[in-house]
């Protein structure tokens, strides 16, 4: 089968790209390939479901611009198409004076990013919003929300398929290789071969491997980090009303353990962040020899380990100790007990690591011949997905000369 464009990866970034490409070019036939039986079955479907405000990201960066634009568009999309969501707001809380300088830095970044309604609040004002939180100061971020990202992904794909019935979704089609021809590419899958003039890769945890199959000379490598969640028991749910975040440590590439009210009414606590021995492994003991070998023979992994060794050890200890995980949660809500939490799900986050261990904090989208590659799109990519889709669609218009 022949298509004008093939999009590889059925997470929310791939779905939004599929949708926006079809909106920009309704006459073109576009195929979306996903190796799993379901859309959004990895990073998208295993994250905490937060609509991020754009509070933490460097002003002017792709992350900041796309998160803020994407958040507004995502909320409008959810309202229009009845996607479960709630713009419930969040508080960021400092529990120790050593965190106040970082809180001020975040606040100033938020002001530069023009986050609506962002304000400093006192410990007493935090109590009015979250009565069970103990802190010394806080920020309130009213435009943060929660959403069902799986439902949003499905709707984006459905809308794209309505625009052009000749476009197709191929589930359970794993892309094994790419063969270049004079003015097209052959996409080799486990269920047959397909031809496309142009390719767009939104492959998440497999982004580096597929980039290399497409001929990209990529020095960096994707390394996966698993995040484990606990859930509050029904009796303890009343202790969390909205979203509650700690002040993130700027030396660590994650936001820290937080409390999230989900669209189904559950309250999640987490995630931690530990190196995973399987890129798509959600269990504590999941293992892939290939994934482990690739990660542990890459010097960037060791550079990251050595520069964050104390954090890494603490994260691993928490991964296997409910007591230590609870102790972290009690820094924010001291009244929580062992009986208030039980193990929940887990997610895996892809980080494109440089050889020096840098986590490549910004989104990274590159061009290679007749292909576009989303090489790095960690959080807040789900929030930013529609904006990323527009960015890629506009880039494709220019790079592929779709608009003549």
Q: Cα separation of 47 and 346, whole Å? A: 8
Task: For residues 273 and 311, state if they share a domain.
Answer: yes
Nearest in space to 137 (alpha carbons), one of 173, 104, 182, 89: 104
Asked if residue 76 is part of any domain, the answer here is no
Q: Residue 345 corresponds to which tokens in the numbers above?
A: 């799900």
What DSSP designation does 99 have? G
Asked if residue 227 is part of any domain, the answer here is yes
Q: Residue 30 corresponds to which tokens in the numbers above?
A: 């576009």
Backbone angles phi, psi at 393, to 5 degrees: -60, -40
Per-residue pLDDT of 236-258, as tens digits, reads 999 999 999 999 987 776 778 99
Q: 10 Å Cβ neighbour count for 192? A: 10
State the virtual CA torsion across 289, 292, 296, 299 in degrees, nearest 10.
Answer: 120
Q: What is the pLDDT averaged over residues 289-297?
A: 96
Cα distances from 238 to residues 132, 196, 267, 350, in angstroms, run 9, 52, 9, 33
- Which run of H or of E encompasses 27? none
Maximum distance among all Cα pairs of the chain, rounded to whole angstroms: 67
Examine the pLDDT at 312 and tell me if it is beyond 60. Answer: yes
- CA gyration radius for the chain? 21
Asked if residue 173 is part of any domain, the answer here is yes
Alpha-helix runs per DSSP H in 175-308: 207-213, 289-296, 299-307
More confident residue, 404 or 371: 371
Per-residue pLDDT of 83-97, as tens digits, reads 999 999 999 999 999
Task: For residues 185 and 290, state if they share a domain.
Answer: no
Residue 326: band (very low, low, confident or very high) from pLDDT cuts 50, 70, 90: very high
Q: 10 Å Cβ neighbour count for 146? A: 22
Asked if residue 103 is part of any domain, the answer here is no
The residue whose two tokens read 């995502």 is 74
Task: For residues 190 and 208, state if they share a domain.
Answer: yes
Q: How many residues does the chain have?
A: 404
Task: For residues 263 and 301, state if they share a domain.
Answer: yes
Task: For residues 293 and 385, state if they share a domain.
Answer: no
CA angle 286, 202, 373 (to 5 degrees): 120
Task: For residues 230 and 307, state if they share a domain.
Answer: yes
Backbone angles phi, psi at 213, to 5 degrees: -65, -25
Nearest in space to 148 (alpha carbons), one of 57, 66, 204, 74: 74
Beta bridge partners of 259: 244, 269
Q: Cα separation of 117 and 105, whole Å? A: 17
Cα distances from 136 to residues 126, 191, 334, 400, in angstroms, run 9, 58, 14, 54
Task: For residues 245 and 304, state if they share a domain.
Answer: yes
Task: For residues 194 and 255, state if they share a domain.
Answer: no
Nearest in space to 201 (alpha carbons), one of 47, 391, 392, 379: 392
**What is the structure's pLDDT at 78?**
98
Q: Cα separation of 396 and 192, whole Å? A: 26
Asked if residue 204 is part of any domain, the answer here is yes
Asked if residue 316 is part of any domain, the answer here is yes
Task: For residues 293 and 185, state if they share a domain.
Answer: no
Examine the pLDDT at 67 and tell me if it is beyond 60. Answer: yes
Q: Cα separation of 188 and 210, whole Å? A: 12
Cα distances from 190 to residues 24, 194, 215, 309, 400, in angstroms, run 30, 11, 20, 40, 27
Q: Residue 210 corresponds to which tokens in the numbers above?
A: 């597929």
Q: Cα separation of 359 and 397, whole Å? A: 30
**What is the structure's pLDDT at 316?**
84
3-state secondary structure of 118: coil
Asked if residue 54 is part of any domain, the answer here is no
Per the prediction, the chain carries an average pLDDT of 95
What count of Cα atoms within 13 Å lies in the side-chain half-sphere of residue 306? 9
Based on the number of CB atoms within 10 Å of its own CB, is 191 exposed (0-12), middle (13-18) or buried (19 or more)?
exposed
What's 295's domain CATH number? 3.30.9
When divided into structural domains, the chain yields a total of 2
Task: For residues 277 and 349, state if they share a domain.
Answer: yes
Q: What is the pLDDT averaged over residues 199-216?
A: 97
Task: For residues 375 and 389, state if they share a domain.
Answer: yes
Q: What is the pLDDT averaged over residues 120-149?
A: 98
Examine the pLDDT at 397 and tell me if it is beyond 90. Answer: yes
Strands 168-170 and 137-141: unpaired
Q: What is the pLDDT averaged over residues 110-127?
A: 98
Q: Residue 63 corresponds to which tokens in the numbers above?
A: 């992350």
Range of the domain at 198: 2-45+150-220+361-399
What DSSP designation does 182 have? S
More confident residue, 209 or 256: 209
Asked if residue 131 is part of any domain, the answer here is no
Q: Cα separation of 246 and 322, whole Å? A: 19
Task: For residues 246 and 323, state if they share a domain.
Answer: yes
**What is the structure's pLDDT at 146?**
98
What's 27's domain CATH number? 3.50.50.60
Q: Taking the alpha carbons of 330, 333, 339, 343 in that order, is the dihedral positive or negative?
A: negative
Q: Residue 118 corresponds to which tokens in the numbers above?
A: 């962002």
User: Rounded to two decimals, what is the model's pTM?
Assistant: 0.96
- pLDDT > 90: what percent of the chain? 90
Q: Residue 146 corresponds to which tokens in the numbers above?
A: 């929660």
**What is the structure's pLDDT at 6?**
98
Residue 227: band (very low, low, confident or very high) from pLDDT cuts 50, 70, 90: very high
Q: Residue 311 corresponds to which tokens in the numbers above?
A: 């954090």
């Amino acid at each position: 089968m022949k298509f004008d464009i093939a999009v590889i990866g059925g997470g929310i970034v791939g779905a939004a790209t599929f949708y926006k490409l079809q909106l920009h070019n309704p006459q073109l036939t576009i195929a979306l390939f996903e190796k799993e039986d379901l859309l959004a079955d990895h990073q998208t479907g295993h994250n905490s479901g937060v609509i991020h405000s754009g509070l933490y990201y460097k002003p002017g960066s792709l992350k900041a611009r796309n998160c803020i634009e994407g958040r507004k568009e995502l909320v409008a999309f959810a309202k229009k198409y009845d996607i479960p969501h709630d713009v419930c707001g969040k508080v960021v809380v400092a529990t120790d004076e050593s965190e106040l300088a970082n809180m001020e830095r975040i606040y100033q970044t938020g002001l530069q990013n023009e986050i609506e309604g962002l304000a400093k609040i006192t410990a007493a004002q935090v109590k009015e919003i979250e009565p069970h939180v103990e802190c010394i100061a806080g920020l309130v971020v009213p435009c943060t929300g929660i959403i069902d990202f799986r439902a949003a992904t499905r709707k984006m794909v459905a809308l794209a398929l309505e625009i052009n019935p000749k476009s197709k979704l191929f589930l359970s089609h794993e892309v094994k290789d790419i063969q270049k021809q004079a003015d097209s590419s052959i996409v080799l899958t486990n269920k047959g071969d397909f031809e496309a003039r142009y390719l767009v890769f939104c492959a998440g945890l497999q982004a580096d491997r597929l980039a290399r199959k497409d001929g990209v000379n990529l020095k960096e490598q994707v390394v996966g980090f698993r995040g484990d969640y606990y859930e509050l028991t029904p009796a303890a749910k009343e202790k969390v009303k909205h979203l509650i975040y700690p002040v993130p440590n700027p030396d660590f590439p994650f936001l820290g353990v937080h409390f999230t009210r989900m669209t189904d009414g559950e309250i999640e606590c987490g995630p931690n962040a530990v190196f995973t021995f399987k890129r798509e492994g959600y269990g504590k003991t999941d293992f892939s020899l290939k994934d482990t070998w690739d990660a542990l023979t890459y010097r960037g992994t060791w550079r990251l380990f050595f520069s964050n060794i104390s954090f890494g050890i603490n994260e691993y200890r928490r991964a296997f100790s409910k007591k230590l995980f609870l102790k972290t949660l009690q820094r924010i809500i001291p009244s929580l007990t062992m009986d208030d939490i039980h193990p929940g799900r887990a997610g895996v986050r892809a980080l494109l690591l440089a050889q020096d261990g840098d986590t490549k904090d910004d989104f990274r989208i590159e061009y290679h011949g007749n292909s576009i590659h989303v090489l790095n799109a960690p959080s807040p990519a789900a929030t930013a997905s529609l904006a990323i889709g527009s960015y890629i669609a506009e880039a494709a218009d220019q790079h592929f000369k779709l608009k003549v």
